[in-house]
Amino acid sequence: MSNQVALTGNEAMAQAMKQINPDVVAAYPITPQTEVVQMFSQFVADGAVDTEFVTVESEHSAMSATVGAAAGGARAMTATAANGLALMWEIVYIAASTRLPIVMPVVNRALSGPINIHCDHSDAMGARDSGWIQLYAENAQEAYDNAIQAVRIGEHEDVRLPVMVNMDGFIISHAVENLELLADEDVKEFIGEYTAEHTLLDTENPIAVGPLDLQDYYFEHKVQQAEAMENAQKVVVEVAKEYKNLTGRGFEYFEEYKLEDAEIAILALASTAGTAKAAVDKLREEGVKAGLLKLRMFRPFPAKEVAKALSGLKAVAVMDRADTFSTIGGPVFADVRSALYDVKSDVEVVNYIYGLGGRDTTVEDLEFVYNDLQGIVNSGEVNKRVKYLGVRE
Amino acid sequence: MSKVNLKELSLQDERLTGGHRLCSGCGASIIVRQILHATDDPVVVGCATGCLEVSTTIYPYTAWKDSFIHNAFENAAATISGTEAAYRSLKRQGKIDEDKEVKFIAFGGDGGTYDIGFQSLSGAMERGHNMVYVCYDNGAYMNTGIQRSSATPRNASTTTSPAGEVIPGKTQFRKELTDIIAAHNIPYVAQASPHNFKDLIRKARKAFEVDGPAFLNVLSQCPRGWRYPEDQAMDIMRAGTDSCFWPLFEVEDGEWKLNHIPKEKAPVTDWLEPQGRFKHLFKEGNEDLIEEIQEQIDKRWEELLHKCGEK
Ligand SMILES: Cc1ncc(C[n+]2csc(CCOP(=O)(O)OP(=O)(O)O)c2C)c(N)n1
Ligand code: SF4
Ligand SMILES: [Mg+2]
């Protein structure tokens, strides 16, 4: 039995954590994630969870303690945003290479500097090469759904990797929306009991975690990590299917919105996908064959599937809510373009870097992007490959 | 608590095996072995990056008979606090046998403890995890080639505080980390030295025994970084405590107690002279530097005598 509720994204995420009922949570507050930590503290205070809550003195210690807990065989979680994720950095990589299935909601916020508390993806995109699985959500419902599935994905024996569950700061975290929560028992049954294969606390079978790994083994271990990421692709699909059976909701790698007969499309992740849907609907009424590919899974990157979905189009705009400062576009753009190289498609792909520091991105902004794509189709020319959307001159 | 008995100790199994790659004469492994003799329970060991860690767990080998985790340089305390939290959670939920007793211990060098790991340590102590944190203090970043730390004694020559034509080694006194951790009001804090193994093992037992965090700051000889022939370690370490450079004391539930009051305080030169890192102090014209060190040690000793109710 599930129930219909009106919750903010942070409330929905806190509910997901409560239902997951992790053995250990170690977390530190940072806007816009703070409420998640506060609400979870209340669950602990009220005895609503079995969790040992470690009120660490920093995010570096949050991730460190989460690693220590997970290596001890606990189902362990933390949550953060922006500078908090940046402070964790060193241990974010260690968590992945130690193959610990930690689930971490990241309430996406612009990375300093200058300091800014609003949404963009510079925090999570910076961690794209850390070896974490990354899921993105269009709304609170999807963020909740992703959090529950993340447990299963990360803990799968062929994967054993940490998962970052991204949710747009403020736009989703602080907006109230109607959504459906699963019943506690259903979540419990869906995620199952966690039994780690090797743990520090199995003292009859002692292990050494995190040894010095030199020229003779390090490389093999890194390749195993890459293989686990490959396996994650299959597992994400399996878990999504099972979740859909249970709830009727969800997508595997991405959602295709009116993409089948589209000539031009936007590829976006997170809340902007919702805005893009409104733009698509408007343009469709005007007879424009516009579509959308909403990416749910960015790490591992579903290159083949994305390329297949886009290769029949005439022009695509990849939306990046983070810059790489490489001067050749944002992180999603780089991967999408690279994916398309193999399919030898004629589709023109351009990049829009948008919404940095929480700059509002409206339906009109995205209509402008579609118009731009139409122009490219009509003229057959791309005057500028990478553009910044909605920036004052 | 029963007395530390050498014969009994000699019958116990070693929990850190030989074959590790610490330099011969290194204090770190001696300290670890003495401390692990102080409990019969299984332990989970956390270790900060440093000489001890890189030398004892080179994949695919480990010298540790107990469960071991190395996470990074500055987070041994936070890491072990997470494992200890996992233990409490799993035990409370009945996922771990109720009768099972596991001890948690973190080892860090002075760099990983006084400096980069200071915040992580302070946090773990303040939160009250049931864990023992041991700093093996060799007074510099030895693993990376003898750079100064905030535990490096004044005037020691290190690779980042070299004794030069103008500057005579490190210009600052070391910070009193043991006092700082005592100010966290945790159940047990002590300073020890492995040459006095009875004192160290007794303190380790106490540290394992108390309910809540315990901190041991242990002077750790390093023939390479201190620049002395290995076989002089015992004399040097003894001079360290007899000169009151490294007083042996403990703070139990806020009660300060001195564990070694030398009959006659040895001059600090007994401690300084055999060590190459202080060699420049014995050049003509540097007498006042030694005097300043002596003054600082005397002042600190007086303070301790008062704190410990000896005066
Ligand atoms: C974040 C970080 N900074 C720097 C280093 C390099 N590093 C490794 S060990 C070490 C010094 C260790 O000194 P200490 O803690 O005193 O232990 P020792 O080697 O003396 O036993 C340093 C600087 C590191 N591993 N990680
Ligand atoms: S350099 Fe010093 S601390 Fe490091 S292993 Fe050698 S003796 Fe031990
Ligand atoms: Mg050191």
In whole numbers, what is the pLDDT of chain A averaged over residues?
Answer: 98
Would you call A4 helix, strand, or coil by DSSP? strand
- With pLDDT > 90 as the criterion, what percentage of chain A qualifies? 99
Q: Report the pLDDT value the prediction gives residue B2, as an integer from 0 to 100.
A: 75
Which of B13, B39, B47, B83 would best serve as a mutation to test chain A binding (most A beta carbons within 10 A)? B83
Residue type, B188: Y
Q: Report the pLDDT value the prediction gives residue B6, as an integer from 0 to 100.
A: 86
List the single residue in A with minimal CA-CA distance to B88: A52
**Residue A187, phi then psi, degrees to nearest 5:** -65, -45
Cβ of B308 less than 6 Å from ligand 2:
no
Does the pLDDT at position A57 exceed 70? yes
Domain map (residue ranges) of chain B = 19-307
Q: Among all ligands shown, which has an atom nearest to the Cα of B56?
A: 2
Q: Among all ligands shown, which has an atom nearest to the Cα of B70?
A: 1
Instruction: Please name every residue paired with A345 in a beta bridge, in sequence order, or none if there are none.
Output: none
Does the pLDDT at position B294 exceed 60? yes
Say whether residue A58 is in contact with chain B using an 8 A CB cutoff: yes
Distance CA A250, CA A238 (A): 12
Chain position carrying tokens 């370490």: B237
Q: Which domains does chain A have, with CATH numbers?
A: 2-247 (3.40.50.970), 254-388 (3.40.50.920)
Distance CA A42, CA A319 (A): 38
pTM value > 0.90: yes
Distance CA B172, CA B152 (A): 8
Does the pLDDT at position B1 exceed 80? no
Q: Which residues of B touch A24 (CB under 8 A)?
A: 82, 85-86, 89
List the single residue in B with minimal CA-CA distance to A215: B59
Does the pLDDT at position A2 exceed 90? no
Distance CA B288, CA B272 (A): 14
Chain position carrying tokens 């009220």: A46
What band does A390 get if pLDDT is binned at 50, 70 and 90?
A: very high
Please tell me which of the candidates A56, A65, A203 has its beta carbon nearest to residue B67: A203
pLDDT tens digit sequence for B125-158: 999 999 999 999 999 999 999 999 999 999 999 9
Question: Which atom of ligand 1 sits closest to the CA of residue B142?
Answer: 20
Give the residue from A361, A262, A374 showing the smallest Cα distance to A320.
Answer: A361
Q: How far apart are the first and last CA of chain A?
A: 53
Mention every residue, 6+ apart, whose C-beta is less than 8 A from residue B246. Answer: B191, B193, B219, B240
The number of residues making up chain A comes to 393
Using an 8 Å Cβ cutoff, are A110 and A116 in contact? yes
Helix (H) or strand (E) holding A17: helix A9-20
Quick one: average pLDDT of A175-197? 97
Quick one: average pLDDT of B7-15? 91
Kindly determine whether residue A94 and residue B71, on different chains, have CB atoms separated by under 8 Å. yes
Q: How far is CA A55 from CA A29, A43, B90, B124, B225, in A?
A: 10, 14, 18, 9, 38
Q: Which residues of B touch A72 (CB under 8 A)?
A: 44, 82-83, 86-87, 90
Quick one: average pLDDT of A208-227? 98
Quick one: average pLDDT of A382-391? 97
Does the pLDDT at position B99 exceed 80? yes
Does the pLDDT at position A1 exceed 60? no
**Beta-strand runs (E) in chain A:** 3-8, 24-26, 52-54, 76-77, 103-108, 133-135, 163-168, 176-181, 208-209, 254-257, 264-269, 290-295, 297-299, 315-320, 348-353, 386-388
Q: Which residues of B touch A73 (CB under 8 A)?
A: 86, 90
pLDDT tens digit sequence for A326-384: 999 999 999 999 999 999 999 999 999 999 999 999 999 999 999 999 999 999 999 99
What band does A27 get if pLDDT is binned at 50, 70 and 90?
A: very high
State the number of CA atoms in the 13 A half-sphere of A232 facing the CB.
33
Give the residue from A336, A312, A334 showing the smallest Cα distance to A323.
Answer: A334
Judged by phi (left if over 0) then psi (alpha if -120 to 50, else beta), residue B227 lies in left
Cβ of B22 less than 6 Å from ligand 2:
yes
Kindly determine whether residue B123 and residue A26, on different chains, have CB atoms separated by under 8 Å. no
Cis peptide before A114 (omega within 30 of 0): yes
Distance CA B97, CA B93 (A): 10
**Residue A14, phi then psi, degrees to nearest 5:** -65, -40
- Complex ipTM tops 0.90: yes
Kindly determine whether residue A211 and residue B59, on different chains, have CB atoms separated by under 8 Å. yes
Say whether residue B171 is in contact with chain A using an 8 A CB cutoff: no
Nearest Cα of chain A lies from the Cα of B107 at a distance, in angstroms, of: 14
Question: Which atom of ligand 1 sits closest to the CA of residue B149?
Answer: 16
In whole numbers, what is the pLDDT of chain B averaged over residues?
Answer: 97
**Residue A182, phi then psi, degrees to nearest 5:** -75, 160
Distance CA A165, CA A152 (A): 13
Using an 8 Å Cβ cutoff, are A298 and A128 in contact? yes
Domain covering B19-307 in this structure, CATH number: 3.40.50.970
- With pLDDT > 90 as the criterion, what percentage of chain B qualifies? 96
**Beta-strand runs (E) in B180-266:** 188-192, 214-219, 249-252, 255-258
Distance CA A177, CA A34 (A): 19
Query: Percentage helix, strand, coil, to 5, in chain A?
Result: 40, 20, 40
